[in-house]
Structure 1
């Protein structure tokens, strides 16, 4: 399987690349080939007299390539100019990547995290599964990944839509990495548990069916049905169960225009403390 890994050649990204545990998790997901890509601004001219931007970029990319190759990955490197999210997603489509990986740095481990501009735009336009890897900043030169065991504990949020089912299919790749899964459904306002017990029973039954499928894969599973606003309940479940990654589908609002994240997946991706694995709708290219 093949992944496109976006890098800005920063210390934060190197923190993630230097984590053997993170890389082993990618291997258990099935990744053995990585396209390492960095995108430079179209306004920066590497060939300007006295400029060594191009040389520094190549040196940084070569250093990170070696880090990945030392862990057994087959690596190709790409230096592109242009708008980062367009180049990253364009490369992913061209090489038929199974996964796109972007890092997102939080302001502080004690403050609310905000998804960076590039990560947000990649997520909004991604046509392939996207892992937003959270990297915590403790200072300009002090970083750590939010969770080294990327997929050890998964919080799967589902509204039972077709796209949510597509996200559930990711467990075929996660079965060798996931040890514990929480299956979460948040009842929408018009079908709150107190007012519609049948809807709750139906949701519980459907989650039990999914849990049985994961049980056959040897994954420990719990099911949870919550009442309230979807984003807040998903984030509350994150705080309670401490997943390493939240898995959910993202739904586009228009196929004729730029694909936008649904408000729930966008808000969760922006505000979650852990990694987020987003799966776009079928047929979005």
Structure 2
């Protein structure tokens, strides 16, 4: 599903630590080719070490070492401009299947997530976006995957991605959180029952409360390998609203999160 991914790379300490966790995440996602992309921010004053040439030299070494370690093809590219836009454009130009970024918002609180690269890219992308938590736990490739559903069209598209990860007998958990706004309880129950009837290794859980809180809590308690949920928006205007639940989970979850845009073909 995510055979070729664009990985947005910077030189932060968090990214250096995340590189140690990449093998298990890439194995889980089935990535066969990785293109490292660093975007030089031309809006700020740069030092020599921030130049495109310096970045290219560093990425060349990193791509070679990662390729040898991961056993997959790893390429690199340096771009200049607005980070989220350039990463999205790189994915389009390389005809990639998805993007991988790091969310560093956990220790800094909610404010930093707004307007940062991860949120902006989540708004822009028409491709699946894999968000890795800074400082999160090492993913066990054999751990279950979690589908968070609310019965909506984006959730049904995310369901197809979820079922893709079940190949080979991987265990799964379907979670739906009943909030005060939910008015289609019977429909969601039918959809969840249909999934579990077709996959004996999948269990379901129905809880009530805050969708973001319950999804994040369940993901951590079950130590899932991946949280999968749909991203709202099928037009450029709608894309500015990825959905409060998707945004909240992407911001707060300590496990990797895969956002699936509603227009994704799987």
TM class by shorter chain equals: 0.7 to 0.9
Specify whether residues 178 and 132 from structure 1 end up closer, same or farther in structure 2 by C-alpha distance, changes over 3 A only.
Answer: farther
Number of matched pairs: 259
1:75 correspondence with 2:74: yes
Distance, in Å, in 2 between the alignment partners of 1:157 and 1:234 is: 7
Distance, in Å, in 1 between the alignment partners of 2:19 and 2:205 is: 34
Residue in 2 that maps onto 1:13 = 15
Residue in 2 that maps onto 1:242 = 223
**8 Å CA contact retained: 1:104, 1:119:** yes
Specify whether residues 151 and 14 from structure 1 end up closer, same or farther in structure 2 by C-alpha distance, changes over 3 A only.
Answer: farther
**8 Å CA contact retained: 2:227, 2:258:** yes
Query: How many Å apart are 1:52 and its aligned residue?
Result: 4.7
TM-score between the two structures when normalised by the length of structure 2: 0.83
CA RMSD of aligned residues (A): 2.9
**8 Å CA contact retained: 1:204, 1:223:** no
**8 Å CA contact retained: 1:125, 1:259:** yes
TM-score between the two structures when normalised by the length of structure 1: 0.78
Specify whether residues 236 and 31 from structure 1 end up closer, same or farther in structure 2 by C-alpha distance, changes over 3 A only.
Answer: closer
Specify whether residues 34 and 277 from structure 1 end up closer, same or farther in structure 2 by C-alpha distance, changes over 3 A only.
Answer: same
Is the radius of gyration larger for structure 1 or structure 2?
A: 1
Query: How many Å apart are 1:191 and its aligned residue?
Result: 4.9
Residue in 2 that maps onto 1:181 = 172
Structure 2: 5+ residue stretches without partners:
none
**8 Å CA contact retained: 1:189, 1:229:** no
Specify whether residues 211 and 134 from structure 1 end up closer, same or farther in structure 2 by C-alpha distance, changes over 3 A only.
Answer: same
**8 Å CA contact retained: 2:172, 2:203:** yes
**8 Å CA contact retained: 2:166, 2:172:** no
